[in-house]
Amino acid sequence: MHVDGLGSILNFIKSNQNLDGGWGYRIGSASLVEPTSFCILALLSGGEERLAGLGRDYLNTCLKAPGGIGTSPYDPNASWMAYAALLAYRALGETDQAKSLISWILGFKDGSDLLTSADIKITKRLYRFDPSISGWPWTVKTSAWVESTSLFLIALARAGVPLSNRRMVSGSSLLLDRRIPSGGWNFGNPYSKNFQMDATALSTSLALVALAATGHTEKEAAILSGIRFLQKSLLSRDQSVIALAWGLIALRSFSPRDTLVSTVGKYLNDLQQDDGSFRGNPFESALAYIALSDESLIISSPGIF
């Protein structure tokens, strides 16, 4: 993308910062931790440290006493949006907050240890995955899913948590266990009874980025079939901003020089609106900015894991 295009994304983000320093998922909507964190990443990449600092101040108001972070200051509970805050605090160099979030995330558990042996047996039979493998849920003590597990793995890996960490190992095992045999991932059910479920571009992209971040390579059959599914999906020209952005990061994670990278980048570029945004959505605009310019904020070293 031309610098002008990237600059206009930044201008959109800058001009739509809420008075509390944060951003929501729509212009004028209430600030939340996930969109604010991604806008901070984009602003840091663009050298806008003062506005990123205001975003950090907003994030600080969302921190919870035990170490997690809510979706907003008004949220009584810590939430899954901690993954995004961890990426932002790391990029901001706020090591104390990052360490605190890492600790909270590693203690944020799914409900796998609440399942009975009968539950596990039924799930294995009907859905053909192993629910006893722990990953990350969206809400505490519920099931782990592909996208939530992927997001936490990505953030933890970027923050330097050792890949040998027990939860990192288990999380990537979960992703491999939930893959769809024909290639790719969906939200987390490869089968339902006798039916193989369809993969989706977004879930597949996130799983691939997470697996790259945790040291897996395209020599593994699951990764290779996932990349093939993603390549086919992204070329359909029928994908959303969020799928194209994460898809671009996923492709760069494995094959940064692939010609498809520039094609998908062009497809994503084409969705930019006249106001510089992607769908008028600060979160998606910031994610697109990162995907098009500086994925190092999310993945540490593209192509050389």
Spatial CA neighbour of 42 closest among 70, 63, 23, 19: 23
Sign of the C-alpha dihedral computed for residues 45, 208, 183 and 128 taken in this order: negative
Minimum CB distance to other proteins smaller for 96 or for 274:
274
Burial class (CB in 10 A: 0-12, 13-18, 19+), 259: exposed
Minimum CB distance to other proteins smaller for 118 or for 304:
118
- Nearest distance from C-beta of residue 16 to other proteins, angstroms: 13
- Nearest distance from C-beta of residue 268 to other proteins, angstroms: 13
Q: What is the dihedral of CA 296, 300, 304, 305, to 10 degrees?
A: -140
Question: Which amino acid, one-letter code, is at 75?
Answer: D
- Nearest distance from C-beta of residue 208 to other proteins, angstroms: 15
> What distances in angstroms separate CA 250 from CA 12, 268, 298, one per listed residue?
25, 14, 11
- Nearest distance from C-beta of residue 32 to other proteins, angstroms: 7
Minimum CB distance to other proteins smaller for 115 or for 169:
115
- Nearest distance from C-beta of residue 187 to other proteins, angstroms: 5
Residue 95: count other Cβ atoms within 10 Å of its Cβ: 11
Q: How far apart (Å, rounded) are the C-alpha atoms in residues 149 and 184?
A: 15
Minimum CB distance to other proteins smaller for 46 or for 188:
188
List residues near other proteins by CB under 8 A.
18, 24-26, 28-32, 34, 71-72, 74-75, 79-81, 111, 137-139, 141-143, 145, 147-148, 186-187, 192-193, 195, 198, 200-203, 238-243, 279
Minimum CB distance to other proteins smaller for 44 or for 249:
249
SS3 137: strand
